[in-house]
Chains A and B, each alone.
Chain A
């Protein structure tokens, strides 16, 4: 127990003294996850929209597939992409293995199903009147998409936050595809794993605290931005009138 407290104190010191390597690693984490998430939204939301109002077998199959893929284990994604991107693999010529590009690809594969599946469910849940009103007012194309997505902005934001949480905190794909190279492909999660195996508990704890703090802060900010509403009027307590 004393050991743990000792390490925890050293961790706080590391954070407060602004160890540059720690912040560089945090930067890589954010850069990779934000890029992957942005791509997942750009691909996933229109995909969900195109499937949401279609009753064809293909659409139903795609919906099932997307939901199932949300459960992809991170190491499986890492391993699968590793074989595709390795020197002897079909995309080896691109030479992106052990770079941040490969890591973004892995996190994109992890984040896309979440964004798409949740958005799809939200859009399918829209009342019929929403689509009918859009049709009857002659809304089409991008305007129609914009309006209908605005109708489900709550669930849409949840989808994005959940996907961010997943990709920002995952280890399996980042470590396999990035190779944990100092100064280039180390993220908060991969370094925590590394420091833990080296027995550097203080550093691991410090990074763990930072990881939690960043993840929770980003989510809190985005969530609060949507929750802000003007305060409702004061409510007087109901008076019971004695007869």
Chain B
């Protein structure tokens, strides 16, 4: 499973935000996108997820067109009204067993019957991640997950990533300021940097010299 990006420019109808050029993402490394606020991390991830159209260029993935091809997780950990169970079951391609398994992987199985309105921010983010995993996606895009996660959640999330890399699916792309939880996971990193001044689009620059050991403060 890989994603090939060609001459990609992402943004909104009236405004290009970032220029990503040519990149190839593979499932054997977690792709990490870093950059300052407003540099286009979210825009890039949403474009990869198919939620936004590229302004220029193409995104081609080797995954078959299907229900749970690409799943995007918002940084807010958005959940639908109702219970944790409802949210997980909506996503679960593999039925209740898959949903419960995803809940266990993120340490939220105890919250199964709870109303979403009662959850803390961190709990919501965990449930949102669990829901994404329950959908068994080929491509998983996670926007700034480290926000509300505690140390235990970060450790669990790290395990999820390790398993994904070893299994070869899903291909994970994470946008972050501080790459927490990514220690020990092989990474392909892309930094969004300002190129030509205040109003020009950011430019995505892959950097390979950051080893996984160098990244990974909790």
Contacts and interface: CB of A to CB of B under 8 A. Distances in A.
Given A129-B74, A136-B51, A136-B72, A147 B80 contact: yes
A189 to B, nearest CB: 37
A127 B131 CA distance: 19
A130 B51 contact: no
Nearest to B135: A137
A242 interface: no
Centre residue among A132, A138, A153 by max chain B CB count within 10 A: A138
Given A147-B90, A150-B81, A150-B82, A136 B76 contact: no
Contacts of A133: 72, 74, 78, 80
B80 A132 contact: no
Interface in B78-92: 78, 80-82, 90-91
A135 interface: yes
B74 A132 contact: yes
Centre residue among B49, B71, B81 by max chain A CB count within 10 A: B81
Nearest to A146: B90
A137 B90 contact: yes
The majority secondary structure among interface residues of chain B is: loop
Nearest to B131: A137
B49 A136 contact: yes
A147 B80 CA distance: 8
A139 interface: yes
Contacts of A150: 80-82
A151 interface: yes
Interface in A107-133: 127, 129-130, 132-133
Contacts of B131: 137
Contacts of A147: 80, 90
Given A135-B51, A137-B90, A138-B135, A151 B70 contact: no
Interface in A12-55: none
Contact of B76 (A129, A135, A151): A129
A147 B74 CA distance: 18
B126 interface: no
B46 interface: yes
Contacts of B51: 132, 135-136
B210 interface: no
B78 A130 contact: yes
Contacts of A127: 78
Contacts of A135: 50-51
Interface in A132-164: 132-133, 135-139, 143, 147, 150-151, 153
A147 B51 CA distance: 18
B68 interface: yes
A133 B72 CA distance: 7
A133 B75 CA distance: 12
Interface of B: 46, 49-51, 67-72, 74, 76, 78, 80-82, 90-91, 131, 135
Q: Which 5 interchain pairs have the tightest Cβ spacing?
A: A129-B78, A138-B67, A136-B72, A129-B74, A137-B91
Given A129-B76, A135-B50, A136-B72, 12 more contacts: A127-B78, A132-B51, A133-B72, A133-B80, A136-B49, A136-B51, A136-B70, A138-B67, A138-B135, A147-B80, A150-B81, A153-B81
13 contacts: A130-B80, A132-B46, A132-B51, A133-B80, A136-B49, A136-B51, A137-B135, A138-B67, A138-B69, A143-B90, A147-B90, A150-B80, A150-B82
Interface of A: 127, 129-130, 132-133, 135-139, 143, 147, 150-151, 153
